[in-house]
């Protein structure tokens, strides 16, 4: 165990994800229940460099469980990515007598957390990213909520697509990972799914549209990950190549917002609590991970640089069910 009345700090970094507030709440209340002080660092690593610390109480996290975003705010810090920035951050944490730091974020955040660990700061990461591209965990906080948001939006688009007998290209987030597009396409019954991991040709998408038209289908839904192409460009190309009425929808940042799902609230609560317990037991350089139904620890190094491979069987299934 650490010294009496240890100080546990928490920050959120990188892109926001639904469920981050639930994770902060779990960190604060687990820390206080264990006899520790809880501190919040605002605006991620940039706020750390600006010494934006504030004490958090039980009441500080009241009413945040069902709120999207992060009340501690987040940012991306170029200063923190430098050797000087890392050294300054470590010095600030030592000056603040922080005994353990919980970093809630994704790949880039964990890379920074690892650097802090290497300079002697006790750190545990909590994976929260809507891309769900942290390979060390089955699921990241925010992924489930974002999927539900995309599926709801796709259902609404399908209503107007069918009414006007049109093809719609719906662009979702995912620059390097097509997991959101794949799962959303499978869950919402998309006719075609375009992801960066699988090469695609315009003529194949046209064939998909023609196949539906030939059996009397009134609409076509194409879901594309932003890393596989941009919706407006694809829509224009399809309209010309297939002689169809094609419209584009970019869901954009609406995918990040909204109240977290029950699954994400529970996952965030379990992970946030586990991170504090790991720190208080002397662990560092670790991240919380969901494996099967269990919350376990995995090395922070496995939290970045290793992405979930696309599950080909799910992609193949989606294409079969779209026939």
Task: Choose, from 16, 37, 99, 131, the residue flagged as catalytic.
Answer: 131
**Alpha-helix residue ranges (DSSP H) falling in the chain:** 20-33, 44-49, 83-95, 107-118, 143-164, 179-188, 202-214, 231-242, 262-280, 312-321
3-state secondary structure 226-294: HHHCCHHHHHHHHHHHHCCCEEEEECHHHHCCCCCCHHHHHHHHHHHHHHHHHHHCCCCCEEEEEECCE
Q: Label residue 39 exposed, middle or buried (CB < 10 Å: 0-12, 13-18, 19+).
A: buried
Parallel, antiparallel or unpaired: strands 37-41 and 53-56: antiparallel
Q: Are 150 and 257 in contact (CB under 8 A)?
A: no
SS3 state at 72: coil
How far is it, in rounded angstroms, from Cα 98 to Cα 122?
A: 9
131 as an active site residue: the answer is: yes
SS3 state at 315: helix
Q: Please name the residue that has the structure tokens 């940012």.
A: 75
Neighbours of 227 (CB within 10 A): 18
How far is it, in rounded angstroms, from Cα 71 to Cα 83?
A: 29
Q: Label residue 1 exposed, middle or buried (CB < 10 Å: 0-12, 13-18, 19+).
A: exposed
Q: Are 249 and 219 in contact (CB under 8 A)?
A: no
List active site positions. 131
């Amino acid at each position: 165990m650490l010294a009496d009345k240890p100080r546990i700090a928490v920050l959120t970094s990188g892109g926001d994800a639904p469920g981050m507030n639930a994770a902060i709440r779990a960190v604060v209340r687990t820390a206080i229940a264990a006899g520790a002080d809880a501190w919040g660092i605002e605006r991620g690593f940039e706020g750390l460099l600006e010494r934006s610390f504030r004490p958090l109480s039980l009441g500080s996290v009241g009413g945040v469980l069902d709120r999207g975003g992060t009340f501690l705010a987040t940012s991306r810090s170029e200063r923190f990515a430098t050797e000087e920035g890392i050294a300054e951050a470590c010095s600030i944490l030592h000056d603040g007598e922080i005994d353990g730091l919980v970093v809630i974020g994704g790949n880039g955040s964990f890379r920074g957390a690892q650097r802090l660990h290497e300079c002697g700061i006790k750190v545990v990461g909590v994976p929260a990213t809507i891309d769900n591209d942290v390979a060390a965990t089955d699921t990241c906080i925010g992924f489930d909520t974002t999927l539900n948001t995309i599926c709801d939006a796709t259902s609404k688009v399908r209503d107007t697509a069918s009414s006007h007998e049109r093809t719609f290209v719906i662009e979702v987030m995912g620059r390097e990972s097509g997991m959101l597009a794949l799962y959303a396409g499978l869950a919402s019954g998309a006719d075609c799914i375009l992801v960066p991991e699988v090469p695609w040709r315009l003529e194949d998408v046209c064939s998909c549209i023609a196949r539906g038209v030939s059996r009397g289908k009134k609409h076509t839904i194409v879901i594309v990950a932003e890393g596989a192409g941009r919706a407006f460009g694809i829509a224009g190309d399809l309209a010309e190549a297939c002689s169809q009425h094609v419209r584009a929808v970019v869901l954009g940042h609406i995918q990040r917002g909204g109240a977290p799902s029950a699954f994400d609230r529970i996952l965030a609560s379990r992970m946030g609590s586990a991170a504090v317990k790991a720190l208080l037991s002397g662990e560092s350089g670790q991240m919380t991970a969901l494996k099967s139904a269990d919350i376990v620890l995995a090395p922070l190094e496995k939290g970045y640089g290793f992405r979930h491979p696309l599950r080909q069987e799910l992609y193949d299934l989606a294409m079969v069910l779209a026939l």
